């Protein structure tokens, strides 16, 4: 039996960009506006996977509210 691949709790900006299929600059903009929460560890900036998943769910619910679905 194979174990599930390990999922990082904290993602680096390039990883978030890859997950969302966005440019890194777009991810930095989401962070700068406070739309996407981050954890700062010294100079390192990380996005919690749970926050990313919550952000995606929020985007979906907003789209459904606008389209009436």
Q: What residue numbers bound the domain in which 18 lies?
A: 10-67
Render 33-44 in DSSP notation, one character per residue.
Answer: TTSS--EEETTE
Residue 4 forms part of a structural domain:
no
Structure tokens at 61: 């619910």
Residue 31 forms part of a structural domain:
yes
- Torsion from C-alpha of 8, 11, 15, 17, nearest 10 degrees: 140
pLDDT of 50-69, one tens digit each? 999 999 999 999 887 877 76
30: CATH: 1.10.1660
| pTM (2 d.p.) | 0.81
pLDDT given at position 58:
94
pLDDT given at position 62:
87
pLDDT given at position 67:
74
3-state secondary structure of 45: strand
Strands 39-41 and 44-48: antiparallel
pLDDT of 1-44, one tens digit each? 555 457 889 999 999 999 999 999 999 999 999 999 999 999 99
Residue 27 forms part of a structural domain:
yes
Domains: count for the chain = 1
């Amino acid at each position: 039996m194979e174990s599930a691949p390990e999922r990082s709790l904290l993602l680096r900006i390039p990883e978030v960009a890859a997950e969302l299929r966005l440019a890194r600059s777009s991810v930095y903009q989401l962070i700068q506006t406070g739309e996407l929460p981050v954890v700062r560890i010294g100079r390192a900036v990380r996005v919690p996977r749970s926050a990313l998943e919550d952000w995606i769910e929020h985007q979906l619910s907003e789209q459904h509210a606008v389209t009436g679905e």
